[in-house]
Amino acid sequence: MITEAKLQRKINCLDLRQQHQKIKKEIFELFEKVYETTSFSGGPYVEQFEKDFASFCGTTHAVGVNNGTSALHLAMLALGVGAGDEVIVPANTFIATAWGVSHTGATPVFVDCTPDTWEIDVSKIEERITAKTKAIIGVHLYGQPFDVDGVKEICARHDLFLVEDAAQAQGAEYKGLVVGGFGDMACFSFYPGKNLGACGEAGGITTNNQAYYDRLLSLRNHGSTVRYYHDEIGFNMRMGGLESASLIIKLKYLNEWNNRRREIAKVYQQGITNPKIKMQAQPSWSNSIYHLFVVTSENRDHLNKYLNEHNIFPGLHYPVPCHLQKAYRHLEYKKGDCPNAEYLAQHCLSLPMYAELTDEEVNYVIDVLKNYV
């Protein structure tokens, strides 16, 4: 057993520094090319990344934008979602899943997660569908694919659009296929802390639909396809050149990094045997990329304090479920509306998870958890 004395350094939920030190030279070389060609906004490096990322996801198109929230906003607009419409969104997700809906004037309708996969509960979707429902946004939360076929069946039955929020799931697989092409569009975040994160803010949308693709290109660029001719009221949501350069380099390493996370997750899953700690259920369809390794425990704050005392600093994703956020108080949800998401918000912690964690550190976390009483 590794004793405390042997591990005096802090282990945080995430450490971006090590990875960026390793690839600094390669990234800076490409930054220099962006600089020399002044391709700062859009341009050839963004186009290169879009090609690379579409091919990574197995889709015909990818559109780079300025962040994941814009990706969701533009996807909703491209589907024609707007005021008076409703869109089904899981209650257990990062709040930005709902922002895209709200920014169009439509209303997010929150559905609880299951008690074990913590993903959207397919059996609870239909009771929330009304004549106003236009789409379902499924979230591959913590890097684990949701029940795609279950949600698709409901979309087909009620003639609804399907959008994947894959912000946490670049490279995750559902039934052996990489996410990003299961619905009408899929939205990605390349926020620095995501599995594929830019050196800056960035996001993207993948699709196999030419009409959505054309519309997204226009919307992100002032509603324009010919310079200074504006066909509709648009946005400036372009991706930056330096951001795209960092993503071109990092995409080459993504499978390697994701596989290391899978390896760490397996060690956690086999090694964490303390009955006081519960982990996310792993459905057979899922090959997660473990963006986060979330666990629950009856007394979360007690466990957190204990881990902190042992130099382990977990994350908390997320302390308040979407339906109970102040921003949505006008929708008049109350405690008890989504009990599983509420339970999770009160009991979850995210264990350290990133590709550069050493075996020694992973085993140390397991040992510390073993001794938790």
Ligand X SMILES: *Cc1c(COP(=O)(O)O)cnc(C)c1O
Q: How far is the CB of 210 from ligand X (least distance, A)?
A: 25
CA gap 290, 77 in Å, rounded: 30
Between 78 and 366, name the residue whose CB sits nearer to ligand X. 78
Distance of CA 319 to the CA centre of its chain: 17
Between 7 and 65, name the residue whose CB sits nearer to ligand X. 65
**Burial per residue of 285-318, b for 16 or more beta-carbon CB atoms within 10 angstroms, e otherwise:** bbbbbbbbbbbbbeebeebbebbeebebebbebb
Q: How far is the CB of 207 from ligand X (least distance, A)?
A: 17
Between 67 and 114, name the residue whose CB sits nearer to ligand X. 67
CA gap 261, 287 in Å, rounded: 11
Q: How far is the CB of 141 from ligand X (least distance, A)?
A: 7
Between 300 and 317, name the residue whose CB sits nearer to ligand X. 317
Q: How far is the CB of 203 from ligand X (least distance, A)?
A: 5
User: Hey, which residues does 278 pair with through a beta bridge?
Assistant: 296
In the complex, residue closest to ligand X by CB: 68
> Which spans of this chain sit near ligand X (rule: CB under 6 A)?
67-69, 93-94, 96-97, 139, 165, 167-168, 189, 191, 203
Using the 8-state DSSP alphabet, how is residue 240 labeled? B
Between 59 and 168, name the residue whose CB sits nearer to ligand X. 168
> How many CB atoms lie under 10 A from the CB of residue 329?
10
CA gap 221, 180 in Å, rounded: 23
Match 């108080």 to its residue by tokens: 329
Cβ atoms of 306 and 372 closer than 8 Å = yes
Give backbone dihedrals phi and psi of 216, rounded to 5 degrees, phi first: -65, -40
Q: How far is the CB of 196 from ligand X (least distance, A)?
A: 11
Q: How far is the CB of 68 from ligand X (least distance, A)?
A: 2
Nearest CA-CA partner of 36 in 47, 25, 48, 44: 44
Between 303 and 353, name the residue whose CB sits nearer to ligand X. 353
